[in-house]
Amino acid sequence: MTAIEAPAPLDAEEEARLRAARRDRIAKWALPVIVMALTLVLWDRIVVWNDIAHYILPAPSRVAETLVADWAILGPAAWATIQITGLALLAAVVGGVGLAVFFTQSRLFELSFYPYAVILQVTPIIAIAPLLRIYIDSVYGVLILCAWIVAFFPILSNTTLGLNSADHNLRDLFRIYGATRWQKLRYLQLPAALPYFLGGLRIAGGLSLIGAVVAEFVVGTAGQSYGLASRILEASYRLNIPRLYAALLLISAIGVVIFAALSLLSHLLLRKWHESALKRET
Amino acid sequence: MPPRRPLLTLSGVGKTFAGDVVALRGMSLEVREGDFISLLGPSGCGKSTALRLIAGLSHPTAGSIRWAEARERGDIGVVFQEPTLMPWATVAENAWLPFRLRGQSYSAVKDEVREALRLVGLDAFAGAYPRELSGGMKMRVSIARALVTRPKLILMDEPFAALDEITRFRLNNDLLSLKAKIGCTVIFVTHSVFESVFLSDRIVVMAARPGRVEREVAVGEPYPRDEAFRTSPEYAALCREASAALHAAMGEAA
């Protein structure tokens, strides 16, 4: 690098590139907000101009009012759904990573049990849930189990792939230095698997919410109300469409928050070294 | 100069893989302390197989490899063709690895790690991650990791083959001054005649199909060698000799 007295004037191409970058930074936030605002206005106008009854399609303002007015009912339901989703995701992480580690430690173990993990994954949860309801007394337990079954496979398969993806020369190096199995796992395989695991975790986060909601629909909570899904069912029986929309809004919001939180976690853990977290010039 | 003590002896070493693929046949070689030996040959001549056998990563199907003294963890350092660094670890953490696998904490060996990084000229980059470094710098980290435990033997498997020529020449020079400083023994696999003549005191020319030793060329030129050596008539003559041996090896194989 040579020292330059005055900064050289940028050429037209470079200026255009900088302008485009600035524009993108603003548009990334502004555009979705504008689209959302337009949609709400259009929705509201359609309801008002066509004089649609609120039990067919409530106006967005009505949904918002219901959300506040019915918070005593919706709030605890949302909290229950969050708990089920969170516990299922936690169990999926423990089970998925644990099983993946066992798989890479013993080839025979992997050959024995991998097909069953696949069977568990490909069987629709809707088909298993009624059975689980018969065998397990606690509705809460059934819901968590269902959400776990849906969520754990992406973590298992991604982590297994990651644990096996460590550079083969590095494996040789660990052998030459006489590394123990535990050292190889801890210093080589687990760090190498981290980006894969985080990819699986992001998928599993969304799936555990879907699992929690779907399971609640299927299991039927037999009079006891748990999460948002049973509130939606209840609202639909009573044609309380504004509350149905409010519950739906909450489920979407939970999903978005889970995705954003896991994306942030992934970024924080990988930003220093992984290709996926790097910003490239040009 | 006192005669060098033997470090390692290969006698009649052979390796046959399943399906009767003979990777290496009847290789005998005495490695003495302080030697810089190049294994030079075309692809398929078994030079990398020989290196893996010496590293203990696989076992010979014939002959034997004897160490003068019992081998311990960290007695061998290895540099591969790729830098083979852990991308999630800093430069210093990468260089610490051989100690870490012996159960030694970073604080206990901080000085050794720093010294190794200083030797390869990267002490200012201890906290950097591999992705922030150029190809040549990554290779320097790899070399620092190989020598951090001051091993008896450093094995290098075409370490500079993927680098540009300017970087390769610099690393060749630096490798020689490193060796002069720490006095290690090196076995260096290459397919470059020029590199092998510049670096080594013995060149083992190998032939392919089956992999075997064709002949040994002694490079009697004293160390230290610098850029002037690259243009000297002695260098040219040795390159011709090694080149002729290599051609003879390849002619037979063809």
Select from B150, B176, B191 the last residue of a domain: B150
Q: What is the pLDDT of residue A221?
A: 58
Same domain, residue pair B143 and B157: no
Same domain, residue pair B115 and B22: no
User: B215-241, pLDDT tens digit by residue?
Assistant: 899 988 888 888 888 889 999 999 999
Mean pLDDT of A103-111: 91
Q: What is the pLDDT of residue B3?
A: 67
Share of chain A above pLDDT 90, in %: 67
Q: What is the pLDDT of residue A4?
A: 52
Q: Which residue of A has its CA nearest to B127?
A: A272
Q: What is the pLDDT of residue A1?
A: 46
Token pair, residue B247, equals 């051609």
Give the number of domains in chain B: 2
Q: Which residue of A has its CA nearest to B132?
A: A273
Same domain, residue pair B63 and B180: yes
- The residue among A165, A171, A173 with the most chain B CBs within 10 A of its CB, best to mutate, is A173
User: A165-201, pLDDT tens digit by residue?
Assistant: 999 999 999 999 999 999 999 999 999 999 999 999 9
Mark yes or no for CB contact A173/B78 under 8 Å.
yes
Collapsing DSSP to helix, strand or coil, B165 comes out as helix
Token pair, residue B249, equals 């090896």
The domain containing residue B107 runs over which residues? 86-150
Q: Residue B176: pLDDT above 70?
A: yes
Q: What is the pLDDT of residue B252?
A: 56
Mark yes or no for CB contact B131/A273 under 8 Å.
yes
Same domain, residue pair B139 and B159: no
How close, in Å, is residue B74 to chain A by CA atoms?
Answer: 6
pLDDT band at B254 (very low <50, low <70, confident <90, very high): very low
Q: What is the pLDDT of residue A41?
A: 96
Distances (CA, A) of B245 to B38, B42, B78: 14, 12, 27
Q: Residue A28: pLDDT above 70?
A: yes
Select from B101, B129, B150 the last residue of a domain: B150
Q: Give domain status of residue B172, yes or no.
A: yes
Mark yes or no for CB contact A176/B78 under 8 Å.
yes
* Burial of residue B156, with CB atoms counted within 10 A of its CB: 0-12 exposed, 13-18 middle, 19 or more buried: buried
Same domain, residue pair B33 and B48: yes
Q: What is the pLDDT of residue A223?
A: 56
Same domain, residue pair B27 and B123: no
Q: Which residue of B has its CA nearest to A270?
A: B88
Of A35, A16, A193, nearest to A99 by C-alpha is A193
Same domain, residue pair B132 and B204: no
User: A116-175, pLDDT tens digit by residue?
Assistant: 988 988 888 888 888 888 898 888 889 999 999 999 999 999 999 999 999 999 999 999
The mean pLDDT value of chain A amounts to: 90
Mean pLDDT of B137-144: 95
Beta carbons within 8 Å of B51's beta carbon, 6+ residues apart: B39, B155, B157, B187, B189
Distances (CA, A) of A178 to A175, A181, B71, B103: 5, 10, 11, 11
Share of chain B above pLDDT 90, in %: 67
Same domain, residue pair B157 and B242: yes
User: B117-127, pLDDT tens digit by residue?
Assistant: 999 999 999 99
Q: Which residues of B touch A188 (CB under 8 A)?
A: 86
Which B-chain residues 49-88 have CB contacts (< 8 A) with chain A? 52, 55-57, 73-74, 76, 78, 80, 82, 84, 86-88
Mean pLDDT of B195-211: 91
> For residues A72 and A62, what is the distance between their CA atoms, to the nearest angstrom?
17
- Computed on alpha carbons and rounded to an integer, the radius of gyration of chain B in Å comes to 18
User: B32-91, pLDDT tens digit by residue?
Assistant: 999 999 999 988 888 989 999 999 999 999 999 999 887 777 789 999 999 999 999 999
Mark yes or no for CB contact B101/A274 under 8 Å.
no
**Maximum CA extent, chain A:** 80
Same domain, residue pair B167 and B223: yes
> For residues B113 and A147, what is the distance between their CA atoms, to the nearest angstrom?
48
Q: What is the pLDDT of residue B2?
A: 59
Composition of chain A by helix, strand, coil, percent to 5? 80, 0, 20
Mean pLDDT of A48-57: 92
Per DSSP, chain B holds a count of helices (H) and strands (E) of 8, 9
Beta carbons within 8 Å of A231's beta carbon, 6+ residues apart: A73, A74, A77, A225, A243, A247
Q: What is the ipTM of this complex?
A: 0.91
Same domain, residue pair B41 and B134: no
Q: Give domain status of residue B81, yes or no.
A: no
Residue spans of the domains in chain A: they are 14-51, 60-276
CATH number for the domain spanning B63: value is: 3.40.50.300
pLDDT band at B249 (very low <50, low <70, confident <90, very high): confident
CB B26 within 8 A of CB B12: yes
Q: Residue B102: pLDDT above 50?
A: yes
Q: What is the pLDDT of residue B253?
A: 46
pLDDT band at B151 (very low <50, low <70, confident <90, very high): very high
The mean pLDDT value of chain B amounts to: 90
Distances (CA, A) of A186 to A114, A163, A166, A191: 23, 10, 12, 7
Same domain, residue pair B56 and B165: yes
Mark yes or no for CB contact B97/A177 under 8 Å.
yes
> For residues B148 and B139, what is the distance between their CA atoms, to the nearest angstrom?
14
User: B162-175, pLDDT tens digit by residue?
Assistant: 889 899 999 999 99
CATH of domain A60-276: 1.10.3720.10
Collapsing DSSP to helix, strand or coil, A92 comes out as helix
Write out the E strands in B59-142: 62-67, 76-79
Q: Residue A281: pLDDT above 60?
A: no
Of B105, B85, B25, nearest to B60 by C-alpha is B25
How close, in Å, is residue A207 to chain B by CA atoms?
Answer: 29
Other CB atoms within a 10 A radius of the CB of residue B33 amount to 15
User: A203-213, pLDDT tens digit by residue?
Assistant: 999 999 999 99
Q: What is the pLDDT of residue A222?
A: 58
Q: Which residues of B touch A171 (CB under 8 A)?
A: none
Same domain, residue pair B139 and B19: no
